[in-house]
Amino acid sequence: MKKFMAMTGLTLALTLLPGFAPGTPAALAQSSDEGQVREQKKESVPLARGSMVNVRGLNGSVTIETWEGETAEIDITVTASDRDALARRPLLIEATANGLTIRTEERREMGRDRGWVRHKAFLRLPRTISIGVSGINGAVDIAEITGSISVSGINGHVKVAEAGTATEIKGINGGVSVALSRVGEQGLAVSGINGGVELGFSGKVDAQLDVHGVNGGVNSDFPLTVVGEMKRGELRGTIGAGGPQISVKGINGGVHIKRM
């Protein structure tokens, strides 16, 4: 089998190269001797239990820690080639009563698109939330949450310490290590991964497993009843008593379904 070079979603990750809007109250900007501009964006936002947090379009790594409080603490360092590039690719923080979105946009009306903007994001979020992360040109590291996760279009490895459940993980140019409490009613789809996949579960697993298009071995720590003929890179079977489907396809590496 030819190696699978994933990359659905990576066009998004590599074209959204944003920055901060200068003059926001919590942003401190300074210019270096080389003409580069750096800003530190710090902000605290109230965030209720069960809120949805979306992070998308950052050109750099995203690290998310969690805690028992009800406040989101945002700390993002942005470096740009110049102030014009910074203004053309602003960072937006949008808070509602039950959600938070951190995203970027490209303002083409401000003139010719040139220069670059890079981010390094650190977020401290309540543990009792759900998270969606997409279009990130860098690694993503997420601590334990009780809600659901969705991850797509990441140009770097993805690690999730533990989430309640997940429905979709796709378009990752790097290895994936995700721990979940359970398989949700909608199942789990993992696809387009240019690296190995490790799916960990802390509780009992009852699911249907469908693995195909995998350039590596497939292993399960849970009792697995194979259905049909086993082939290289393909496996169909029942884990436990069966249930929602875990679909894994288009993986350039091995797959390990792990007991946590």
Question: DSSP of 94-114, one letter per residue?
Answer: EEETTEEEEEE---GGGS---
Domain end marker among 126, 158, 185: 126
Instruction: Give yes or no for residue 114 having a pLDDT over 70.
Output: yes
Q: Are residues 64 and 106 in the same domain?
A: yes
Residues 109 and 158 occupy one common structural domain: no
pLDDT at 139: 98
Indicate the pTM of the whole model: 0.85
Residues 11 and 25 in one domain: no
Mean pLDDT rounded to a whole number for the chain: 86
Number of domains in the chain: 2
Q: Domain check: are 191 and 223 in the same one?
A: yes
Name the percent of the chain in helix, strand, coil, to the closest 5.
5, 55, 40
Q: 158 and 223 in one domain?
A: yes
Residue 131 lies in a domain: no
Residue 92 belongs to domain spanning = 20-126
Question: What pLDDT band is residue 7 in, cutting at 50, 70 and 90?
Answer: very low
Which pLDDT belongs to residue 33? 46
Q: Residue 39: inside a domain, yes or no?
A: yes
At residue 11, the pLDDT reads 30
Question: Are 11 and 99 within one domain?
Answer: no
Specify if 63 maps to a domain.
yes
Note whether residue 145 is domain-resident.
yes
Domain shared by 52 and 168, yes or no: no
Contacts of 75 (CB under 8 A, 6+ apart): 40, 41, 42, 121, 122, 123, 124
* Interatomic CA distance for residues 229 and 199, integer angstroms: 23
Question: Could you report the per-residue pLDDT of 213-252, keeping only the tens digit for each?
Answer: 999 989 999 999 999 877 788 889 999 999 999 999 999 9
Mean pLDDT value of segment 74-90: 93
Q: Tell which of 72, 99, 126 closes a domain.
A: 126
Q: What percent of the chain has a predicted confidence (pLDDT) above 70?
A: 85
Domain identity same for 142 and 111: no
The answer on 7 and 57 residing in a single domain is: no
The token pair that represents 56 in the structure block: 């998308």
164 assigned to some structural domain: yes
**pLDDT range class, residue 19, cuts 50, 70, 90:** very low
Write out the two tokens for 229: 């003929």
Q: If you count DSSP H runs as helices and E runs as strands, how many of each does the chain have, helices first?
A: 2, 22
Q: Is 11 left (phi over 0), alpha (psi -120 to 50) or beta?
A: alpha
Backbone angles phi, psi at 252, to 5 degrees: -95, 70
Of the residues 96, 126, 156, which one is the last residue of a structural domain?
126
What's the confidence (pLDDT) of residue 112? Answer: 62
